A and B are shown apart, each in its own frame.
Chain A
Amino acid sequence: MELQVFFDKAIYSAEAIKKAAYRFIDKFSAVISENGTSYSCFIKFPDKSTDAQAARLVDEFKKEVLDQDLRESIKRETEGVRNLILAHTFSKAGLIKDE
């Protein structure tokens, strides 16, 4: 069974869609391509899947894309602090100045 899902390029990044698709790698295969103003995601389910199973998985996949989008926002905002904390953690004296 095959299905196509679209995501608005103005809102979602290809990275978020790819990361979400990776998490479903054991459940379906996905080919992502660019399509004008959207990303299209061509999803192929294993032969024995039912319509209901496929619909549920697509639903979960969409939620996962939203989650990945949220993760991107967090990463964008916290990358600097994260590196600083790691530097503190692994510096022997732990005396690196904040700025």
Chain B
Amino acid sequence: MSKFQPIEFYKNKTHSYELLPLRFEALDDQSYVVTNMAGEYLTLPRDKLSKLVKHQLTSSDPDYINLRARHFLVDDKTSIAKDLLAIKLRTKYSNLSEFTGLHIFVVSLRCEHSCPYCQVSRASDDKVAFDMSKEVADKSLDLALKAPAQNIKIEFQGGEPLLNFPLIKYIVERAESLRGTKNIGYVIATNLALINDQVLEFCKQHKIQISTSLDGPKDLHNHNRPRKGSNSYEKAIEGIASTRRYLGKYSVSALMTTTKASLGRVKEIIDEYVEREFGGIFLRPLSPYGFALKTKTYAAYDAEKWHEFFVEGLEYIIELNRRGKEFREFYAATILSKMLTSTEPGYVDLMSPAGIGIGAVVYNYDGKVFASDESRMLAEMGENKFQIGHVLKDTYEQIFLSDALLDPIEESFAYSVPMCTDCAFESYCGADPVFHYGIYKDFVGRKPDSEFCNRNMKIFKYLIKRMEEDSFVKQLFTDWAQPNA
């Protein structure tokens, strides 16, 4: 007997199919994106979508097979779709049980740079006032080691954390002696101006990674990041080179901040990263904190500008790849891995339930615990809504079961928020209660006016459109979506 069923078996003569949960959104005038519960998508013309819902689609329709294969409908030929969807969905949510993987230690608020976009650092020599004490460090580390996650990352931030390097040494050595079976990775987020052999030797010994800032070509970087001597760029470039010499090429990564001065210069910024032999760039949106909170006009105007900036950058990167230069854009890659795989990359802004406290937690220099990096920035501007405890006063349970953490997570869960609940992109998107609280004074915001929603929805549509119209882009994006590739 043949292994295969005769062709007749696959032909569904009647329209006896059952719809599985699906959501849709218009992509343009003609076509719609349809997503299933696991976030897999298809595009369809509107009349097809309407036929599908009205049970008028026949099994001979080419879209029918696709819809069945991707779990948008079940008929008498399929029985496992519901189980498969549950498994895929469970994989996506499984990171929730890896509660709090990233622990940020703000070891000093002091900094020798005075970047206008930074809300937190202080140009001060007052170590007592702005450095983390050993007592706070001990208690913070105890909390970090209590988190259920098996793999945790400790990231040292500032200010400029290297201004308090002795404390970094102290924390790493203590963490190594107390970690038990946990795996701990360490990162120092530094502008590299103060990096030296002694620091690098220590990093080598403990496999510490370096994350730095590179805003683009020299004039732009130095404009964005002023310091005495106007040599932030030179220091960063030298620092990148010496870090690579000591720790290996892939031990250092760089982040850029988009400012008004960056707009219109995305290609030069990317060229700088290519020239420095980075494998990709993370085109980060303009920060809404500070300026945006004071001038309400900022959001609408700059969301538009930022989208142009992002698209121009992404198109340029696609072209580089077409010419054989492997290079990726990490924001798109994060979204693509949600779209095209069952993994959840765990990027705090794009998590729902919100990633605050779950994806990351911040131990501030003064002992205050914040639910995310943005939360502490908000606090520096006088809004303490997301302070979830204090290391010297509260227990682990008091901090992680506090209303200050759980209320925003519960209230902002996109699955039940107006508009998000019906949105085809909900499984790619995030809740970001900190952003919405900062701007709208509630955890959810009204999505039609939300810059977060507008920005992301545009990107989701754009990425899908590009994959649909260009097979090279589809292949490229599929590669980017693989988390470890």
> Which residue numbers of A lie inside 8 Å of B, CB to CB?
19, 22-27, 63, 67-68, 70-71, 73-74, 77-78, 81-82, 84-86, 88-90, 94, 98
Contact = CB atoms under 8 A, between A and B. Distances in A.
Contacts of A78: 19-22
* Shortest beta-carbon contacts, A-B, top 6: A88-B86, A82-B21, A78-B21, A89-B89, A26-B449, A26-B448
A84 B82 contact: yes
Contacts of B21: 74, 78, 81-82, 85
Contact of A85 (B18, B50, B53, B89): B89
B93 interface: yes
B147 interface: no
Nearest to A25: B448
Give the interface centre of B20, B21, B93, B446 by most chain A CB atoms within 10 Å.
Answer: B21
Given A78-B22, A81-B21, A82-B21, A71 B86 contact: no
Contacts of A67: 24, 26
B26 A94 contact: no
Contact of A24 (B23, B83, B422, B448): B448
Interface of B: 18-24, 26, 37, 49-50, 53-54, 82-83, 85-87, 89-90, 93, 418-419, 422, 446, 448-449
B93 A90 contact: yes
B53 A73 contact: yes
Contacts of B418: 22
5 contacts: A25-B449, A70-B50, A74-B23, A85-B21, A85-B82
Contacts of B93: 89-90
A70 B424 CA distance: 13
A82 B21 CA distance: 6
Given A22-B419, A67-B26, A85-B82, A74 B53 contact: yes
Contacts of A25: 446, 448-449
A81 B449 CA distance: 32
Q: Classify the secondary structure of A's interface with B.
A: helix
Contacts of B54: 73
A43 B93 CA distance: 41
A78 B81 CA distance: 13
Contacts of B24: 67, 70-71
Contacts of A68: 422
B448 A74 contact: no
Given A63-B26, A74-B23, A94-B87, 8 more contacts: A22-B418, A22-B419, A26-B446, A26-B449, A70-B24, A70-B50, A81-B82, A82-B37
Contact of B20 (A70, A71, A81): A81
Given A24-B448, A25-B446, A74 B86 contact: no
B422 A88 contact: no
Contacts of B87: 94
Nearest to B97: A92
A23 B446 CA distance: 9
A70 B19 contact: no
A23 B419 contact: yes
B422 A22 contact: no
A2 B158 CA distance: 53
Contacts of A98: 82
A63 B20 CA distance: 23
B306 to A, nearest CB: 18
A63 B419 CA distance: 16
Given A84-B82, A85-B85, A23 B448 contact: yes
A77 to B, nearest CB: 5
A96 B341 CA distance: 25
B37 A94 contact: no
A85 B86 contact: yes
A34 to B, nearest CB: 22
B19 A94 contact: no
Nearest to B87: A94
Contacts of B49: 70
A20 B419 CA distance: 9
Contact of B22 (A22, A23, A74, A90): A74
A19 B419 CA distance: 8
